[in-house]
């Protein structure tokens, strides 16, 4: 028995040794951009012969070429007449080449030692990014800082049913913006703070991931400012399901709890046709709506077009320039009567927005919700899109989200990142495809953008090719918005530093790992060349680190479960 224990211990030791060496090879390859035998660099233990293997001869040839170049450069320094370059340039090139040779020596030694205990280490092909922008041709990246987690919830619900979500419903920014990263709040008196961190890309060679987070201060719109709400409730036949009906009831309970004296709420229900259920009810009587809604039966088709017409008319009739004027739609979005084209319905929402009325929506039941419809309408209404899959989702956190939307701290929030072409070759904003703006829109305050609540953070992730031989920093991140506590436009900027020793992914901060894993999960679900290269099995240690760091977060637990289904 004792001998068997010793044998097991020896086996575990060898397994740990192999894994340690594999990680070392991975780190060197990814951080230095040295890719032997092919153009892939995702390491895995794989017996399949795909033509991508570690062969010491590959490194020996690279080392031979490097040492030959070193000899040539030394000769040029000894005889200045052989080169037209200043000696300082030749000396710099010589130092860089000697550093490269040193790294090749280390890598060759590591591969040789690894092969003593691991016969083969295979390489999975990694795609060359084709959807990046050149910093030299397009140095500015501008977008509306829209924050939502709806796409993440839709994807989770689909996977829980054993299905894959529609790739078009996968919006990466709504995956990595689903989490609280604990970013610092602004200093007293400051309206916004910015947190920036970066790490080597876990999949793509010679790429870093850069996380940029903007967080608002505690002061939002004055609590004394009244709310004028127009609520549209779906009572069509598709809402008969018990979970959707109860989710609607719970949402009304939470909404009513937020209203007080001075606020006004008007409610219209709709199925085949809309009808007025409560007209300009004072905020202190809002709880009367709970019984009204609970006792209203669900029946008939869904004519969202007519509901939006009536809702717009009611909102304009009770509009108060001194109030926060909003329409809130609660529906499963399954419109089957009238004009149900999202683009056409969005025109009405845009017109209302131009008249000072925002548009929010809560989708009920992730399994049948019309995600495209609700995302389009709320985007054009500069409002929020929530998802209530189960009645329990309409909880205190939902109420907090509503409260933040009703009293935003920042309006018209735009972010612009200016990349330095002398340091950045190419870059890509991950997600936000439908929220991108023209460069000149950043300071054009007539162009609408998203809102942020008090103490709310919005995050963006960039994929960046940094140039080690370049100069200067990566660039500058700027935010511009209307501070609702003062009514003034605010614009601030922060430097995005160049870090020549950016952490390997397995050494990155938990917040950077969490955001990156969420973005990778979205890319995996959307499909495409990068999706095929994403191997969550190889990222198991990082997933475990994130799980341990955010052990009390239910949403992080949901992400870990999602990743488990994507392995």
Residue 77's pLDDT is 66
361-403: pLDDT as tens digits = 888 876 777 888 888 888 888 888 888 877 888 777 777 777 7
pLDDT value at 507 more than 50: yes
139-190: pLDDT as tens digits = 999 999 999 998 999 899 889 888 899 999 999 999 999 999 999 988 888 8
185 and 58 housed in the same domain: no
Please give the model's pTM, rounded to 2 decimal places.
Answer: 0.74
Question: Given 76, 96, 124, which residue is the final one in a domain?
Answer: 124
213 and 139 housed in the same domain: yes
23 and 112 housed in the same domain: yes
pLDDT value at 122 more than 70: no
- Rounded to the nearest integer, the mean pLDDT of the chain is 81
Residue 195 lies in a domain: yes
* Mean pLDDT, range 460-480, rounded to an integer: 95
Residue 437 lies in a domain: yes
399 and 413 housed in the same domain: no
- Given a contact cutoff of 8 angstroms between Cβ atoms, the answer to whether 210 and 461 are in contact is yes
Q: At a CB cut-off of 8 Å and minimum separation 6, what does 384 contact?
A: 148, 360, 361, 378, 401, 405, 451
240-253: pLDDT as tens digits = 777 777 888 888 88
Distances from the Cα of 456 to the Cαs of 4, 123, 127, 380, 445, in angstroms?
Answer: 56, 41, 36, 21, 21
Residue 551 lies in a domain: no
Most confident among 20-24, 290-294, 319-323 (mean pLDDT): 319-323
327 and 381 housed in the same domain: yes
180 and 61 housed in the same domain: no
Residue 211's pLDDT is 97
Residue 280 lies in a domain: yes
pLDDT value at 286 more than 80: yes
The better pLDDT of the pair 510, 220 is held by: 510
236 and 385 housed in the same domain: yes
* Mean pLDDT, range 244-268, rounded to an integer: 84
383 and 424 housed in the same domain: no
373 and 233 housed in the same domain: yes
- Given a contact cutoff of 8 angstroms between Cβ atoms, the answer to whether 411 and 325 are in contact is no
Retrieve residue 56's tokens: 């010491």
Residue 539 lies in a domain: no
Distances from the Cα of 47 to the Cαs of 119, 197, 232, 446, in angstroms?
Answer: 9, 37, 59, 59
Q: At a CB cut-off of 8 Å and minimum separation 6, what does 19 contact?
A: none
Q: Supply the range of the domain harboring residue 41.
A: 15-124
* Mean pLDDT, range 79-90, rounded to an integer: 65
319-353: pLDDT as tens digits = 988 888 989 898 876 777 778 788 888 888 899 98
Residue 51's pLDDT is 41
Residue 59's pLDDT is 58
Most confident among 6-20, 269-283, 341-355, 536-550 (mean pLDDT): 536-550
pLDDT band at 105 (very low <50, low <70, confident <90, very high): low
372 and 414 housed in the same domain: no
pLDDT band at 22 (very low <50, low <70, confident <90, very high): low
The residues pairing with 198 across neighbouring beta strands, listed in sequence order, are: 210
429-455: pLDDT as tens digits = 999 999 999 999 999 999 989 888 888
Total number of domains constituting the chain: 3
Task: Work out the end-to-end distance of the chain between its first and last CA atoms, rounded to an integer number of angstroms.
Answer: 37
pLDDT value at 274 more than 90: no
Where is average pLDDT lowest: 19-33, 57-71, 430-444?
Answer: 19-33
- Given a contact cutoff of 8 angstroms between Cβ atoms, the answer to whether 27 and 94 are in contact is no
DSSP code for 296: P
């Amino acid at each position: 028995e004792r001998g068997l224990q010793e044998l097991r211990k020896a086996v575990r030791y060898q397994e740990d040794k192999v894994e340690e060496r594999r990680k070392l090879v991975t780190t060197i390859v990814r951080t230095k951009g040295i890719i032997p035998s092919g153009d892939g660099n995702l390491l895995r233990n794989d017996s399949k012969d795909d033509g991508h293997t570690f062969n010491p001869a590959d490194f020996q040839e690279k080392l031979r070429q490097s040492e030959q170049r070193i000899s040539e450069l030394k000769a040029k320094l000894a005889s200045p007449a052989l080169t037209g370059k200043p000696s300082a340039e030749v000396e710099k090139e010589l130092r860089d080449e000697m550093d490269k040779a040193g790294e090749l020596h280390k890598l060759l030694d590591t591969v040789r030692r690894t092969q003593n205990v691991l016969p083969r280490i295979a390489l999975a092909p990694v795609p060359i990014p084709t959807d990046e922008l050149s910093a030299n041709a397009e140095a500015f990246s501008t977008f509306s800082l829209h924050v939502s987690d709806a796409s993440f919830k839709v994807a989770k619900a689909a996977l829980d049913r054993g299905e894959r979500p529609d790739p078009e419903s996968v919006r990466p920014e709504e995956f990595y913006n689903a989490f609280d990263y604990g970013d610092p709040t602004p200093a007293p008196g400051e309206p916004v703070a910015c947190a920036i961190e970066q790490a080597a890309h876990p999949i793509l060679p010679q790429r870093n991931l850069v996380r940029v987070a903007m967080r608002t201060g505690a002061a939002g719109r004055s609590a004394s400012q009244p709310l004028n709400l127009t609520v549209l409730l779906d009572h069509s036949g598709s809402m008969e399901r018990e979970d959707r009906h109860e989710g609607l009831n719970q949402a009304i309970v939470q909404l009513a709890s937020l209203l007080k004296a001075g606020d006004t709420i008007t409610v219209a229900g709709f199925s085949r046709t809309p009808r007025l259920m409560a007209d300009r009810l004072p905020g202190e009587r809002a709880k009367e709506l709970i019984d009204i809604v609970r006792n209203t039966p669900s029946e008939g088709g869904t004519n969202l077009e007519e509901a939006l017409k009536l809702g717009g008319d009611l909102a304009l009739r009770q509009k108060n320039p001194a109030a926060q004027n909003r329409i809130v739609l609660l529906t499963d979005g399954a419109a089957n009567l009238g004009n149900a084209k999202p683009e056409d319905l969005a025109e009405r929402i845009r017109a209302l927005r131009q008249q000072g009325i925002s548009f929010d929506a809560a989708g009920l039941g992730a399994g049948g919700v019309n995600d495209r419809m609700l995302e389009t309408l709320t985007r054009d209404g500069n409002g929020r899109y929530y998802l209530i899959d189960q009645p329990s989702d309409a909880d205190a956190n939902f109420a907090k989200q509503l409260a933040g939307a009703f009293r935003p701290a920042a309006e018209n929030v735009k972010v612009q990142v200016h990349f330095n072409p002398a340091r950045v070759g190419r870059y890509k904003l991950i997600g936000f495809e439908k929220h991108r703006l023209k460069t000149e829109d950043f300071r054009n305050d007539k162009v609408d953008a998203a809102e942020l609540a008090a103490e709310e953070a919005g995050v963006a992730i960039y994929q960046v090719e940094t140039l080690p031989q370049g100069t200067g920093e990566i660039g500058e991140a700027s935010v511009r918005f209307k501070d609702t506590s003062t009514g003034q436009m605010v614009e601030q900027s922060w430097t995005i530093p160049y870090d020549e020793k950016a952490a390997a992914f397995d050494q990155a901060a938990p917040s950077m790992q969490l955001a990156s894993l969420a973005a990778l999960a979205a890319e995996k679900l959307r499909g495409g060349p990068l999706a095929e290269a994403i191997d969550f099995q190889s990222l198991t240690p990082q997933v475990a680190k994130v799980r341990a760091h955010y052990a009390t977060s239910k949403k992080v637990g949901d992400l870990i479960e999602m990743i488990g289904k994507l392995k």
